[in-house]
Amino acid sequence: MNQSATRLNTEELNLALNLLRAGELVGIPTETVYGLAADASQPEAVAKIFAAKGRPADHPVIVHIAGVEQLAAWAQNIPDEAYLLAQHFWPGPLTLILERQAHVSDAVTGGQNTVGLRAPAHPITQQLLQHFGGGLAAPSANQFGHVSPTTAAHVRGEFSEEVLQLVLDGGACDVGVESTIVSLVGDKPKLLRPGGVSREAIEAVLGDSLEHHTNQYTAKQRVSGLLDSHYAPRTTLITGQAARLQECIAEKLAQNQKVVLICQEINTKLDIEQFLMPSSPQAYAQQIYATLRQLDLQRFDTLFLALPPNTTEWLAIHDRLARAAHHRY
Cβ proximity to Mg ion, 34 vs 284, nearer residue:
34
**Element spanning 303, H or E:** strand 302-306
CB of 107 to ligand TXA, least distance (A): 12
Residue 291: alpha-carbon gap to chain centroid: 15
Phi first, then psi: what are they for 174, rounded to 5°? -70, -45
Name all contacts of 43-47 with Cβ < 8 Å and 24+ positions apart: 43/105, 43/106, 43/107, 43/108, 45/20, 45/137, 46/105, 46/107, 46/108, 46/137, 47/107
* Binding window for ligand TXA (CB under 6 A); candidates: 59-67, 83-91, 161-169, 235-243: 59-67
Partner in contact with 62, chosen from Mg ion, ligand TXA, none, beta carbon below 5 to 8 Å by kind: ligand TXA
Query: Exposed (0-12), middle (13-18) or buried (19+): which is 314, by Cβ within 10 Å?
Result: middle
97 binds ligand TXA (CB under 6 A): yes
Cα distances from 15 to residues 18, 45, 128, 132, 170, in angstroms, run 5, 16, 11, 12, 16
CB of 278 to ligand TXA, least distance (A): 20
CB of 276 to ligand TXA, least distance (A): 26
Amino acid letter, residue 232: A
Partner in contact with 135, chosen from Mg ion, ligand TXA, none, beta carbon below 5 to 8 Å by kind: none
CB of 218 to ligand TXA, least distance (A): 10
Partner in contact with 115, chosen from ligand TXA, Mg ion, none, beta carbon below 5 to 8 Å by kind: ligand TXA
32 binds Mg ion (CB under 5 A): no
Cβ proximity to ligand TXA, 260 vs 324, nearer residue:
324
Q: In the set 109, 127, 235, 291, which binds ligand TXA (CB under 6 A)?
A: 109
Residue 118: alpha-carbon gap to chain centroid: 12
> What residue is closest to Mg ion based on CB?
140
Cα distances from 225 to residues 46, 88, 96, 178, 307, in angstroms, run 18, 25, 15, 10, 20
**β-bridge mates for residue 167, sequence order:** 27
Contact 100, 75 (CB under 8 A): yes
* Binding window for Mg ion (CB under 5 A); candidates: 76-84, 132-140, 238-246, 248-256: 132-140
Q: How far apart, in whole angstroms, are the C-alpha atoms of residue 177 and residue 324?
A: 13
| Contacts to ligand TXA from residues 72-91, by CB under 6 A | none
* Binding window for ligand TXA (CB under 6 A); candidates: 27-35, 159-167, 241-249, 317-325: 27-35
Contact 1, 170 (CB under 8 A): yes
State the chain's maximal CA–CA distance in angstroms.
61
115 binds ligand TXA (CB under 6 A): yes
* Binding window for ligand TXA (CB under 6 A); candidates: 84-92, 108-116, 241-249, 264-272: 108-116
**DSSP 8-state class, residue 31:** S
Q: How far apart, in whole angstroms, are the C-alpha atoms of residue 137 and residue 42?
A: 10
| Contacts to ligand TXA from residues 194-223, by CB under 6 A | 221-223
61 binds ligand TXA (CB under 6 A): yes
Q: In the set 140, 214, 239, 291, which binds Mg ion (CB under 5 A)?
A: 140
Q: Which residue blocks in 57-212 are alpha helix, DSSP H?
A: 71-74, 80-89, 106-109, 123-132, 152-158, 199-206
59 binds ligand TXA (CB under 6 A): yes
* Binding window for Mg ion (CB under 5 A); candidates: 11-19, 133-141, 184-192, 253-261: 133-141
Residues that bind ligand TXA (CB under 6 A): 30, 32-33, 35, 59-62, 93, 95, 97, 109, 112, 114-116, 118, 120, 138-140, 178-179, 181, 192, 221-225
Residues that bind Mg ion (CB under 5 A): 140
